[in-house]
């Protein structure tokens, strides 16, 4: 019986919490391992949207042409740390190779098919954890300053539609009616009316863990340093000097998965995109729904604690401090967009786990059938956490996965 099978899940972000709850739903005995509070890391600071429309990767055929202006403009949502990039050339080369048109079209198709399963993975968890109050379905709006910017994005948006995203085009009057507090006279926009967003991403993780504990799961507040495997079992080495025995382990520690000994992430080319947010308390009333300013590369999302401006991409690893230039950029753009207090109440930096082909890693390890991987979701961790957890639980239970995970297998890098 599954209740006699112990599975350890490393990482209490949204992906790890989702895996743990789905495994428990299948009847497994589950221990969740993380040194921090549930959802306290990268999962706490995201933009909050359930982005089932988010099949367009950062990889883009025209990125090389745009790269100089993106890197050297103070108004760019993209930044690179030259020292970090030069010391990690392999990942950057692979990323640029995946900017070729044929590669990008394949990424879009694969992400689109997986994103279509978003609510199959999410809805059962929301019901199990009594967490539907943390989800708001008010739609999502993408806005463009002028017609030229809107036209330039048409090919990407057409590909979204081909992957099943439903949206309507907006003119300036439509945008003003929907979000009258926007200061900039955005000329064009898109409304994704069925999109939901999470009102408190960290609270969602905590709600999942509360459910896990109510049903005899365990939370172990330790750092996993390494994984050792042998036939039929694994051992997780913890930073207090002890080990945890289990039949299987799921590695879902995001960008920090590559720090766990025994996990050959060098082969997987896992790295990190640094994402930022600034948040203004008690300003959530200014917007009805999340609004993404296309050219500026961020989302403005009304949440329980305030109005969050989240986004940007910085390639600089996770050892460097918060970059004040990025915080200044977000704050400046936020003030251009809405009437806000002079300074945000919160400045935040998080680390998106990212592979150079923009696809997550879901499946059995290349070194052992007793180790499963669930990381590398880049900008889509919150959105894909539920379906990832479902697929991991199916694999652990010996079932045929409900979605083809071959394109997301760790073996694609071999």
How many whole angstroms separate alpha carbon 84 and alpha carbon 203? 33
Please classify residue 209 by burial: count the beta carbons closer than 10 Å to its beta carbon, then call 0-12 exposed, 13-18 middle and 19+ buried.
buried
Please report the pLDDT score of residue 328 as a whole number: 95
Element (H, E) at 114: helix 101-115
Between CA 175 and CA 141 the distance in angstroms is 9
| Nearest Cα to Cα of residue 18 among 227, 250, 200 | 250
With tokens 């750092």, the residue in question is 223
d(CA 301, CA 348): 15
301: phi then psi, degrees, rounded to nearest 5: -125, 125
Q: What is the pLDDT of residue 1?
A: 54
Q: What's the pLDDT at 315?
A: 86
Q: Is 103 exposed, middle or buried (0-12, 13-18, 19+ CB in 10 A)?
A: middle
- Are 234 and 249 spatial neighbours (Cβ–Cβ below 8 Å)? yes
- Kindly list the structural domains of the chain, giving each domain's residue range(s) and its CATH number in brackets, ordered by start: 2-43+202-263+358-413 (3.50.50.60), 56-101+135-195+270-354 (3.30.9.10)
Q: What would the DSSP string read from start to end of 1-14?
A: -GGG-EEEEE--SH
112: CB partners within 8 A, 6+ apart? 55, 160, 162, 163, 164
What is the three-class DSSP state of 21? helix
Contact call for residues 383 and 197 (beta carbons, < 8 A):
no
pLDDT by residue for the chain (414 residues), tens digit each? 577 899 999 999 999 999 999 999 999 999 999 999 999 999 999 999 999 999 999 988 877 777 776 666 677 788 888 888 888 888 889 998 999 999 999 999 999 999 999 999 999 999 999 999 999 999 999 999 999 999 999 999 999 999 999 999 999 999 999 999 999 999 999 999 999 999 999 999 999 999 999 999 999 999 999 999 888 889 999 999 999 999 999 999 999 999 999 887 677 889 999 999 999 999 999 999 999 999 899 999 999 999 999 999 888 888 778 999 999 999 999 999 999 999 999 999 999 999 999 999 999 999 899 999 999 999 999 999 999 999 999 999 999 999 999 999 999 988
Angle, CA of 62, 375 and 349, to the nearest 5°: 70
Structure tokens at 73: 């403009």
> Which stretches of 294-407 are DSSP H helices?
324-337, 381-396
Please report the pLDDT score of residue 72 as a whole number. 67
Tokens linked to 372 = 């499963």
How high is the pLDDT of residue 321? Answer: 86
C-alpha R_g of the chain? 21
Query: Given this model, what pLDDT does residue 69 score?
Result: 67
Taken in order 285, 146, 330, 169, is the CA torsion positive or negative?
A: positive
Give the pLDDT of residue 289: 98
- pLDDT recorded at residue 145: 97
Structure tokens at 360: 């997550």
Say which residue the tokens 């997550």 belong to. 360
């Amino acid at each position: 019986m599954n209740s006699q099978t112990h599975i350890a899940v490393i990482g209490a972000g949204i992906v790890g919490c989702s895996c743990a709850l789905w495994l428990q739903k299948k009847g497994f005995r589950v221990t969740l391992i993380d040194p921090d509070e549930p959802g306290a890391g990268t999962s706490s600071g995201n933009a909050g949207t359930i982005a089932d429309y988010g099949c367009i990767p950062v990889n883009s055929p025209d990125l090389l042409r745009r790269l100089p202006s993106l890197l050297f403009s103070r108004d760019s949502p993209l930044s690179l740390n030259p020292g970090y990039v030069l010391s990690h050339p392999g990942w950057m080369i692979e990323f640029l190779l995946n900017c070729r048109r044929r590669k990008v079209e394949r990424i879009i198709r694969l992400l689109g098919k997986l994103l279509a399963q978003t609510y199959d993975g999410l809805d059962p968890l929301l019901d199990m954890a009594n967490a539907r109050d943390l989800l708001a379905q008010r739609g999502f709006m993408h806005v463009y300053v002028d017609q030229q910017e809107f036209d330039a994005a048409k090919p990407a948006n057409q590909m979204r539609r081909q992957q099943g995203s439903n949206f309507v085009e907006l003119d300036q009057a439509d945008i003003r009616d929907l979000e009258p507090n926007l200061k900039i006279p955005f000329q064009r926009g898109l409304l994704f009316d069925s999109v939901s967003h999470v009102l408190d991403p960290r609270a969602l993780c905590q709600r999942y863990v509360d459910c896990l504990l109510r049903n005899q799961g365990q939370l172990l507040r330790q750092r996993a340093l390494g994984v050792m495997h042998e036939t039929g079992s694994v051992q997780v080495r913890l930073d207090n000097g002890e080990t945890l025995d289990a039949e299987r382990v799921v590695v879902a520690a995001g960008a920090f998965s590559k720090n766990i000994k025994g996990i050959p992430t060098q082969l997987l080319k896992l790295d990190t995109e640094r994402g930022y947010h600034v948040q203004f308390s008690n300003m959530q009333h200014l917007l009805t729904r999340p609004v993404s300013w296309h050219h500026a590369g961020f989302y403005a999302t009304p949440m329980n604690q305030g109005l969050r401006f989240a986004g940007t991409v910085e390639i600089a690893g996770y050892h460097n401090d918060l970059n004040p230039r990025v915080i200044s950029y977000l704050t400046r753009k936020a003030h251009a967009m809405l009437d806000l207090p002079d300074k945000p109440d919160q400045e935040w930096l998080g680390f998106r786990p990212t592979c150079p082909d923009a696809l997550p890693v879901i499946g059995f390890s290349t070194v052992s059938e007793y180790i499963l991987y669930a990381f590398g979701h880049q900008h889509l961790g919150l959105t894909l956490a539920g379906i990832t957890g479902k697929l991991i639980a199916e694999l652990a239970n010996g079932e045929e996965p409900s979605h083809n995970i071959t394109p997301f297998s760790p073996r694609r890098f071999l």
